[in-house]
Chains A and B, each alone.
Chain A
Amino acid sequence: MPPESTTTSAVESAPTSFRIQKERTQFLGLTFDECIQGFFGGNALLAVIILGLITFFLFREGSSFFSQNRDNLSIYRLAGLEYVDLGRQPEKDHAALSRYLADLRLRTYQYYTAQKALPAKEANTLLADFDLYADRFARASAPIRSQLMDWSEIANDIKARHLTNQNLAEKRRQLLAAGKSAEAAAVKILPINFAVEVETITTTLPAYAEASSTFARSLEELIVAPPILPDVDLTVRMARFQALTRDFIASLPATLESMKKWDATVPVPLSQSFTAFIFGRQWLTASFWQDWYGAMPLIAGSMLVSLIALTLAIPLGVGAAIYVNQLASPVEQRLIKPAIEFISAIPSVVLGFFGIAVLGEFLRVASGWSFLSWVTGFPFAERLNALTAGCLLGLIAVPTIFTLAEDAINNVPRAFKEASYALGASRLQTIIRIIVPASLSGIVSAILLGLGRVIGETMVVLLCAGNRIAIPDFTAGLGVVTQPVHTMTGIIAQEMGEVEPGGIHYRALFVVGLLLFFIALLINYFAQKIVRKYKVSIG
């Protein structure tokens, strides 16, 4: 029998259960398998959804910060606080000059006790004239200070009344929302006429100008006859002090001019609220005078700490990757790789504790060793500073950099290496001229991802960076690393628990988080881009 006919008849007579085209269960027009696929696909979308949710919620909580900050800055201007701060600037500069004098006194004292080997009492007697002079200098600002005190009281009172009004308005709104219109009407709000109120300050400007000129005159008198100092270096410093004071006196009329020009009615644009956040040099919260939300100290702190960490981690991490992949014996390779991976498992909070308990103290003691005294910034007194945090962050970044860089080096084809050896290159030449350039894109992206890890790290910086909210003083050269700093991650962790949800401070922290989120995304983006763009074609 020919085979074709059998087949045909079999199909014709096949029972329903063998029919190929079995009827499939369908949900919403989808087969079971398609449903399953849809389910898994939906799960895979989760990463996208979560990223979206993070962005959404950070924006949701953070976005109204800028309008709130504008209100914050507007009231600063309307209530005249800005005006008073303008007038206060000379007082601040004068205080800085006083500090310069105090520093000079300390130096002179040290000169007497250390170089002249005088006893402390005698040194102080010799400095009696100086002290008198410094005292007179410090008291010179008394006339403007009393004027400023009156002004700040008025300004603060205007601001306080405005805040009370805001609270009352909020209360009324809540009562209305609850349907208690009678009680809402009972809430009395006394409107403030800012222009009139602030005039009580601005009209007394002549008195301030008078005080300012008295101040300038007394400074001029003082500057003519400074105390004579015993050493050349000290005399030079005193001359510098005189020059600084003359500059200061010359700057006083400009201050008055800017106060005359000041106008409370100029509105604060939204862009200023934005720039005040990004470039603001002060992060000052819960202040009795004026709150500032400037992210610059935090950004600078994060950058400084990351820089220290990477300076330590790049040579170590990349060096170790090259060594383990190219130079180490198989036994070393088998042991070192898991060991370094294991270091990455040390929780950051444990490292932070280690920094507080051991490393901070050790570094401080080490900075006092005489053979290290040539290092700028050594010795330092703060146990917790950028250096302590940076060292620990370096240890956190090392495993990331090591693992990824080692991967990149491992991906360089054997043929590259063999060709290089065949041309007579030595082992080191091969590594430096062939292997490292071929894997450079991978190494750079490893470093970038290490940076991402370091910038996002919270507990170590929170515990060890010293948490002083100020832009580190970069004029100190390398010594800047020994200053305490605060970071973006640290400030969120420290202050989030204490703020009232919905307030401006709360929103400011979310904006910092948003900034951090975008920095992380940017770093990630560049890391991937570098890998894709500069990949050496392996063919």
Chain B
Amino acid sequence: MTAPSHFYTSRHSFQRRTEGTIVWAFRLATYVILLCGVFVIGNICLKGLPTVTGSFRSLKQFPYVTNTFLFEAPESLYIFKHEGVKREMGDTEYRAFREAETARATAEGRPVPEFKAQSYVYAAGGIWPCIVGTVLLVVGAMTIALLLGVASAIFLSEYARDSAFVRFIRLAILNLAGVPSIVFGLFGFAMFVLYFDWNVSLMSGWFTLAFMVLPVVITASEEALKAVPKGFREGSLALGATKWQTIRKNVLPFALPGILTSSILGIARVAGETAPIMFTAAYVVRDKLPWEVAKFGDFFFQGVMALPYHIYVVSSKIPQNAYTQRVQYGTAFVFLGLVALIAGSSILLRNKLRGRYQW
């Protein structure tokens, strides 16, 4: 016998089932995305972490410990068999070893040993110059972008009325945000590298990256400025302060934390992009560190190694095998960690700030 049915009994079981299935499909879509993200990040972290943790070396003097992967320059890796033992060595170590062995053999009167080594470029040593280069690029580009972007945002949020001119500017900002990064790279190459004759240099890279990230900074800053209550401005103006005084004393100080935190997202973009710096600022390899320059002016006009470009180089220009995996995954891990740190702190700070400034 069927259960007694009355008005409130749930019916349409078929409909309910379809509804449930579709809801599950939506849920599945969401979790598939998250799973993909977790898988990519997890894979790189799992395989890249051992590179960093396995590179700690003890030192005789002050810091007492160092990390050869993080704090040394990249070298070629040599793999060879010597006296029946298979060895892997970086460039400098290999040369020293070879000389020592040759000297030992001649001293003992044996024939000079032959060294037949297989070599992989960049597969030994570390990524210190790349880290330095990336940090320099990010700091310079963000300084320029913040100076220009915040000024731009102040105009849009404090001075601008809804006019055709302002709408035009907003349209330009929106469009600038959609320009592909490789186009910025081409533009930077044509304007800074060739036309201004700055060559492949920090300056070219800074301006290219700053222009690329400008829309992000402007939008973020404007949002932060708009979040400051109108009463702050009105109170100040009512007391006789000029517009500029109002902005300087009563708007900017309150908007600044918001501007900075939102702009961190811009940092993640600057640090993460490869295409714009490929022809404007990045070198495949450079022996000198950026501060090893003859005179101060040269500092701005030198190319640097950068993490994203290094990843591109080590993943496309050298073969994939057990020997090269160490540096490939290690670089990707360090880079991902750096960007994740920046992006994560931005998201966290933003949430925290939203809670704090409740006017």
B-binding residues in A (CB < 8 A): 32-33, 36-37, 39-41, 43-48, 50-51, 53-54, 57-58, 60-61, 315-317, 319-320, 322-324, 327-328, 336, 338-343, 345-354, 356-358, 395, 398, 402, 426-428, 449, 452, 455-459, 462-463, 489, 492-493, 496-497, 501, 509-510, 513, 516-517, 520-521, 523-525, 528
Q: Is B41 an interface residue (CB 8 A)?
A: yes
Do A357 and B275 have beta carbons less than 8 Å apart?
no
Question: Contacts of A457 on B, CB cut-off 8 Å?
Answer: 180
Stretch of B87-95, B112-120, B295-303, B339-347 lying at the A interface: B339-347
Query: Of all chain A residues, which has the CB nearest B244?
Result: A36
Complex alpha-carbon distance, A510 and B214, angstroms: 23
**Apart from A40-B151, A40-B152, 13 more pairs, CB < 8 Å:** A44-B152, A46-B152, A48-B168, A48-B172, A327-B26, A342-B347, A343-B36, A345-B272, A346-B336, A348-B273, A349-B272, A402-B33, A493-B278
Q: What's the least CB distance linking B161 to chain A, in Å?
A: 12
Question: Contacts of B61 on A, CB cut-off 8 Å?
Answer: none
Query: Of all chain A residues, which has the CB nearest B316?
Result: A463
Complex alpha-carbon distance, A178 and B83, angstroms: 64
Q: Is B23 an interface residue (CB 8 A)?
A: yes
Partner of B181, one of A39, A336, A352, A458: A458
Q: Is B19 an interface residue (CB 8 A)?
A: yes
Q: Is B357 an interface residue (CB 8 A)?
A: no
Question: Contacts of A32 on B, CB cut-off 8 Å?
Answer: 242, 244
Do B176 and A349 have beta carbons less than 8 Å apart?
no
Question: Contacts of B28 on A, CB cut-off 8 Å?
Answer: 319
Give 1 or 0 for each of B135-162: 1 = CB within 8 Å of chain A CB.
0000000000000100110111011100
Question: Contacts of B187 on A, CB cut-off 8 Å?
Answer: 53-54, 57-58
Do A47 and B169 have beta carbons less than 8 Å apart?
yes
Do B308 and A347 have beta carbons less than 8 Å apart?
yes
Q: Is B195 an interface residue (CB 8 A)?
A: yes
The CB with the most chain B CB atoms within 10 A, among A39, A349, A358, A528, is that of A349
A-binding residues in B (CB < 8 A): 15, 18-19, 22-23, 25-30, 32-34, 36-37, 40-41, 43-44, 148, 151-152, 154-156, 158-160, 168-169, 171-176, 178-187, 189-191, 194-195, 211, 214-215, 218, 242-244, 265, 268, 271-275, 278-279, 308-309, 311-312, 315-316, 320, 325, 328-329, 332, 335-336, 339-340, 342-344, 347, 351
Question: Contacts of B309 on A, CB cut-off 8 Å?
Answer: 349
Query: Of all chain B residues, which has the CB nearest A320?
Result: B30
Query: Of all chain B residues, which has the CB nearest A428?
Result: B19
Complex alpha-carbon distance, A523 and B148, angstroms: 27
Do A51 and B172 have beta carbons less than 8 Å apart?
yes
Do B311 and A349 have beta carbons less than 8 Å apart?
yes
Complex alpha-carbon distance, A218 and B329, angstroms: 60
Question: Contacts of B279 on A, CB cut-off 8 Å?
Answer: 496-497
Question: Contacts of B273 on A, CB cut-off 8 Å?
Answer: 347-348
Question: Contacts of B172 on A, CB cut-off 8 Å?
Answer: 47-48, 51
Closest 4 CB pairs of A and B: A456-B180, A319-B29, A347-B272, A345-B343
The CB with the most chain A CB atoms within 10 A, among B25, B33, B43, B335, is that of B33
Do A57 and B195 have beta carbons less than 8 Å apart?
yes
Q: For chains A and B in complex, what number of residue pairs have CB atoms within 8 angstroms?
A: 255
Complex alpha-carbon distance, A40 and B221, angstroms: 13
Question: Contacts of B27 on A, CB cut-off 8 Å?
Answer: 323, 327-328
Q: What's the least CB distance linking A138 to chain B, in Å?
A: 36
Partner of A458, one of B43, B148, B152, B274: B274
Q: Tell me the dominant secondary structure on chain A's binding face.
A: helix
Q: Could you list some 6 contacts between A and B, CB below 8 A?
A: A40-B155, A347-B274, A426-B15, A452-B178, A452-B180, A520-B179
Complex alpha-carbon distance, A165 and B59, angstroms: 65
Do B182 and A458 have beta carbons less than 8 Å apart?
yes
Do A492 and B186 have beta carbons less than 8 Å apart?
yes
Complex alpha-carbon distance, A87 and B37, angstroms: 55
Complex alpha-carbon distance, A346 and B311, angstroms: 13
Do B26 and A41 have beta carbons less than 8 Å apart?
no
Partner of A33, one of B18, B29, B242, B268: B242
Question: Contacts of B168 on A, CB cut-off 8 Å?
Answer: 48
The CB with the most chain B CB atoms within 10 A, among A323, A328, A402, is that of A323
Question: Contacts of A462 on B, CB cut-off 8 Å?
Answer: 312, 316
Q: What's the least CB distance linking B175 to chain A, in Å?
A: 5
Do A496 and B189 have beta carbons less than 8 Å apart?
yes
Do A33 and B244 have beta carbons less than 8 Å apart?
yes
Complex alpha-carbon distance, A510 and B190, angstroms: 9
Query: Of all chain B residues, which has the CB nearest A394?
Result: B36
Do B278 and A345 have beta carbons less than 8 Å apart?
no
Do B272 and A43 have beta carbons less than 8 Å apart?
no
Query: Given contacts A315-B29, A322-B26, A342-B347, are A41 and B311 in contact (CB under 8 A)?
Result: no
Complex alpha-carbon distance, A231 and B22, angstroms: 50
Do A348 and B272 have beta carbons less than 8 Å apart?
yes
Do A342 and B344 have beta carbons less than 8 Å apart?
yes
Partner of A510, one of B40, B171, B173, B186: B186
Q: What's the least CB distance linking A326 to chain B, in Å?
A: 8
Do A456 and B159 have beta carbons less than 8 Å apart?
no
Do A336 and B183 have beta carbons less than 8 Å apart?
no
Do B152 and A340 have beta carbons less than 8 Å apart?
no
Question: Contacts of B342 on A, CB cut-off 8 Å?
Answer: 345
Do B243 and A57 have beta carbons less than 8 Å apart?
no
Partner of B34, one of A40, A45, A336, A456: A336
Query: Of all chain A residues, which has the CB nearest B32?
Result: A316
The CB with the most chain B CB atoms within 10 A, among A47, A338, A493, A523, is that of A47
Q: What's the least CB distance linking A429 to chain B, in Å?
A: 8
Complex alpha-carbon distance, A50 and B214, angstroms: 10
Partner of A323, one of B30, B242, B278, B328: B30
Partner of B268, one of A61, A328, A345: A345
Complex alpha-carbon distance, A427 and B186, angstroms: 50
Complex alpha-carbon distance, A60 and B207, angstroms: 19
Question: Contacts of B329 on A, CB cut-off 8 Å?
Answer: 357
Q: What's the least CB distance linking B144 to chain A, in Å?
A: 11
Query: Of all chain B residues, which has the CB nearest A335?
Result: B34
Query: Given contacts A347-B271, A347-B274, A347-B339, are A44 and B183 in contact (CB under 8 A)?
Result: no
Q: What's the least CB distance linking B225 to chain A, in Å?
A: 11
Query: Given contacts A40-B155, A57-B187, A357-B315, are A323 and B274 in contact (CB under 8 A)?
Result: no
Partner of B339, one of A346, A395, A428, A458: A346
Query: Given contacts A51-B175, A339-B37, A513-B183, are A319 and B30 in contact (CB under 8 A)?
Result: yes
Query: Given contacts A40-B152, A497-B279, are A57 and B215 in contact (CB under 8 A)?
Result: no
Query: Given contacts A53-B191, A348-B272, A458-B275, are A489 and B180 in contact (CB under 8 A)?
Result: yes
Question: Contacts of B315 on A, CB cut-off 8 Å?
Answer: 352-353, 356-357, 463
Query: Of all chain A residues, which has the CB nearest B16?
Result: A426
Q: What's the least CB distance linking A22 to chain B, in Å?
A: 11
Question: Contacts of B347 on A, CB cut-off 8 Å?
Answer: 338, 341-342
Do B40 and A357 have beta carbons less than 8 Å apart?
no
Question: Contacts of B25 on A, CB cut-off 8 Å?
Answer: 319
Do B343 and A349 have beta carbons less than 8 Å apart?
no
Q: What's the least CB distance linking B207 to chain A, in Å?
A: 10
Question: Contacts of A513 on B, CB cut-off 8 Å?
Answer: 182-183, 186
Complex alpha-carbon distance, A173 and B6, angstroms: 100
Do B176 and A47 have beta carbons less than 8 Å apart?
yes
Do A44 and B174 have beta carbons less than 8 Å apart?
no
Query: Of all chain A residues, which has the CB nearest B269?
Result: A345
Do B180 and A517 have beta carbons less than 8 Å apart?
yes
Question: Contacts of A53 on B, CB cut-off 8 Å?
Answer: 187, 191
Q: What's the least CB distance linking B82 to chain A, in Å?
A: 30
Question: Contacts of A341 on B, CB cut-off 8 Å?
Answer: 347
Query: Of all chain A residues, which has the CB nearest B154?
Result: A40
Query: Of all chain B residues, which has the CB nearest A351?
Result: B40
Query: Given contacts A323-B30, A350-B332, are A50 and B211 in contact (CB under 8 A)?
Result: yes
The CB with the most chain A CB atoms within 10 A, among B152, B173, B178, is that of B178
Complex alpha-carbon distance, A516 and B265, angstroms: 25
Do B182 and A493 have beta carbons less than 8 Å apart?
yes
Question: Contacts of A356 on B, CB cut-off 8 Å?
Answer: 315-316, 320
